[in-house]
Amino acid sequence: MQIQPKTTTATRNKLFVMPFIALGTLILFLVLAYLMQTEKSLAFDVKVSSLAEHYITGGMYEFISFFTNLGSKPVVIGIAIFTLILMWWKTRDYIGLLTVVGVLIGSDQLYKVLKDVYERERPILEPSIDAIGYSFPSGHATVSMAFYGIIIYFVWKYMKQSTSKTVALYVLGMYIFIMGMSRVLLRAHYISDVIAGFAIAFTYVTIWIFLYTVVTNIISSIRSQKNIPM
């Protein structure tokens, strides 16, 4: 697999549009937080949880539990280590490596702070699944969107257009979606917890991508002026 960076003007322009999208997802998070605190979203949340409780039982419950366990800390840390090694080997993008680490550590702390702020109780506290602490926003949804979202960005940035790239982007996108939905189906979270986690994580990871782009462009400009090889 040959990896090359994409540094076209069109690519940079698209990245600078992303903060406006991030503002939209931040507003979505704040709206959901408001509806949750005023209990205006509770009826819908409870209805979805009740449907999950009715239909997701027995073997189906165990099957979905397997997917939600893919979001556990040991699994995420293992994938992070593999990602960092692969990025170092293929790209030598040290700013990118720091970005991945920053996104992972920061998103893990972000959802914990927000949980303590909003203090929403979970639909259930089932000992057999990873469901500890408050409910809003979903930690699994927040970390998966942020961490796998930044991986999606670097796959898009570095991999040449190919079937492998398309498959990788599709799998990562589905992984994020399934991770979030598994929390709802297992009744570990309300659906608004998951959507809020996705929203705030998208805002968060977009800020990191924006900063990464600015820093790497500045470094490239300095190197070009001093004729330093990349």
Q: Give the per-residue pLDDT at 3.
A: 46
Q: Give the per-residue pLDDT at 4.
A: 44
Q: Give the per-residue pLDDT at 6.
A: 47
Residues of the chain with pLDDT > 70: what percent?
85
Higher-confidence position of 5 and 79: 79
Q: Give the per-residue pLDDT at 2.
A: 41
- Show the domains of the chain with their CATH numbers: 9-216 (1.20.144)
Instruction: Provide the mean pLDDT of the chain.
Output: 82
Residues of the chain with pLDDT > 90: what percent?
33
Residue 5 pLDDT grade (very low, low, confident, very high; cuts 50, 70, 90): very low
Residue 125 pLDDT grade (very low, low, confident, very high; cuts 50, 70, 90): low
Predicted confidence (pLDDT) at residue 98 exceeds the cutoff of 90 = yes
Per-residue pLDDT of 44-70, as tens digits, reads 888 887 777 767 767 777 777 777 777
Q: Give the per-residue pLDDT at 215.
A: 87
**Cα(146)–Cα(155) distance, rounded to whole angstroms?**
14
Per-residue pLDDT of 163-209, as tens digits, reads 888 898 999 999 899 888 888 888 888 889 999 999 999 999 999 99
Residues 6+ apart with CB under 8 A from 105: none
